[in-house]
């Protein structure tokens, strides 16, 4: 198996570099490969002998997407369709990273399973769902992983922002009415690699993997999986824990409502994802978000 990772300079892409270690993987970002260009993808797949793509590329600026719907659609749906076409042509596998935002238009009060009907709200959520739908329409072998609240040692993210603010400011406000689960990109990357490998590290046969897509196109959720860390919290609780673990005791963190931070898009009030399916399929346990946060802070 020869793997291509797109969006390789982002949080998950850089985490995958660690998780794959010495495996034969090609890493690309927009500078090396424009995934909105189908011909360029086909050429890379043919030249490198690619039969598996892990797509970490996306337009993820939720607020900016409202002002740039065409660009968001191009990157979150059109580019994904191109990747699906390229993998369909070589009977390859596409691993697509999606989002909890596809559920944001309906109220939820308990962990959301994969077969829950999506209800996207806002351009970002709609375009990410369009990407999922494009994959199923093309009918390539695929795994779709919906995740949430991603952070890592790399790039810009909530953890690094809170570390800076709680070190610099005497007080900050953080919303306390949005519930979800922080996800350490390193844990998600390890899980993706486990999906693609035997426990011994050898690549398994796609045909024998019960959680991979068949050749038949289906609108079912058979090949959609949820992955976050275990547990749940609000952004306020997340921020408080970050500051506590970092020893930033001089900053007062006050809870507030989402209405106090006006936004162009409504963010999900409760988007905790049910992960029992992926735990059963892979035979894994998932770390609690507080344990993974400590691990990330230790690396920083």
What is the per-residue pLDDT for 221?
A: 67
Distance CA 129, CA 152 (A): 24
pLDDT digits (tens, 9 = 90+) for 101-134: 999 989 999 999 999 999 999 999 999 999 999 9
Check whether 196 has a pLDDT greater than 50. yes
Out of 3.40.50.720, 3.40.50.300, 2.40.50.100, 3.30.565.10, which CATH number does the structure's domain 3-157+182-231+270-288 have?
A: 3.40.50.720
- 196 DSSP 8-state letter: T
Check whether 193 has a pLDDT greater than 60. yes
CA dist 79 → 39, 43, 120 (Å):
12, 15, 19
Least confident residue range of 22-31, 87-96, 186-195: 22-31
pLDDT digits (tens, 9 = 90+) for 56-94: 999 999 999 999 999 999 999 999 999 999 999 999 999
Could you tell me which of 221, 229, 157, 159 has the C-alpha nearest to residue 188?
A: 229
Check whether 200 has a pLDDT greater than 90. no
* Three-class secondary structure of residue 260 per DSSP: helix
User: Which positions are catalytic?
Assistant: 124
Distance CA 125, CA 62 (A): 8
Contacts of 262 (CB under 8 A, 6+ apart): none
What is the per-residue pLDDT for 174?
A: 97
* Three-class secondary structure of residue 41 per DSSP: helix
DSSP-assigned states of every residue in 57-77: -----HHHHHH-HHHHHIIII
The share of the chain scoring above pLDDT 90, in percent, equals 85
Residues 244-268 have a mean pLDDT of: 93
**Model pTM?**
0.93
Q: Helix 158-168 crosses helix 235-246 at what angle (to 10 degrees)?
A: 60
What is the per-residue pLDDT for 220?
A: 56
Contacts of 41 (CB under 8 A, 6+ apart): 33, 35, 82, 83, 86
* Mean pLDDT of the chain, nearest integer: 92
What is the per-residue pLDDT for 219?
A: 46
Check whether 215 has a pLDDT greater than 70. no
Q: Is 139 left (phi over 0), alpha (psi -120 to 50) or beta?
A: left
Residues 52-57 have a mean pLDDT of: 97
- 247 DSSP 8-state letter: T
Give the residue extent of every domain in the chain. Answer: 3-157+182-231+270-288
Check whether 238 has a pLDDT greater than 90. yes
What is the per-residue pLDDT for 169?
A: 97
Cβ atoms of residues 143 and 196 within 8 Å: no
Check whether 206 has a pLDDT greater than 50. no
Distance CA 255, CA 172 (A): 9
What is the per-residue pLDDT for 262?
A: 84
What is the per-residue pLDDT for 214?
A: 44
Cβ atoms of residues 296 and 151 within 8 Å: yes
Which pLDDT band, with edges at 50, 70 and 90, does 140 fall under?
Answer: very high
Residues 21-39 have a mean pLDDT of: 93
């Amino acid at each position: 198996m020869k793997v291509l990772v797109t969006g390789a300079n982002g949080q998950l892409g850089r985490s995958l570099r660690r998780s794959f270690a010495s495996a034969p993987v090609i890493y690309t970002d927009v500078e090396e490969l424009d995934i909105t260009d189908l011909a360029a993808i086909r050429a890379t797949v043919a030249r490198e002998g690619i039969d598996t793509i892990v797509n970490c590329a996306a337009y993820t600026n939720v607020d900016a997407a409202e002002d740039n719907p065409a660009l968001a659609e191009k990157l979150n749906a059109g580019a994904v369709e191109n990747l699906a076409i390229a993998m369909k042509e070589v009977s390859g596998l596409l691993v697509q990273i999606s989002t909890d935002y596809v559920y944001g238009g309906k109220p939820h009060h308990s962990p959301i399973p994969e077969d829950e009907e999506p209800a996207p709200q806002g351009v970002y959520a709609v375009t990410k769902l369009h990407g999922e739908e494009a994959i199923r329409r093309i009918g390539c072998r695929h795994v779709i992983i919906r995740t949430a609240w991603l952070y890592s040692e790399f790039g810009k993210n909530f953890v690094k922002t809170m570390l800076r603010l709680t070190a610099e400011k005497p007080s900050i406000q953080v919303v306390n009415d949005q519930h979800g689960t922080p996800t350490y990109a390193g844990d998600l990357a390890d899980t993706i690699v486990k999906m693609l490998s035997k426990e011994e590290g050898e690549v398994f046969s796609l045909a024998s993997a019960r959680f991979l897509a068949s050749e038949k196109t289906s609108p079912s959720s058979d090949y959609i999986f949820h992955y976050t860390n275990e547990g749940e919290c609000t952004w306020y609780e997340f921020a408080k824990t970050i500051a506590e673990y970092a020893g930033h005791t001089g900053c007062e963190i006050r809870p507030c409502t989402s209405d106090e931070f006006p936004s162009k898009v409504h963010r999900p009030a409760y988007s905790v994802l049910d992960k029992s399916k992926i735990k059963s399929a892979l035979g894994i346990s998932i770390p609690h978000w507080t344990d993974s946060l400590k691990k990330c802070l230790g690396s920083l």
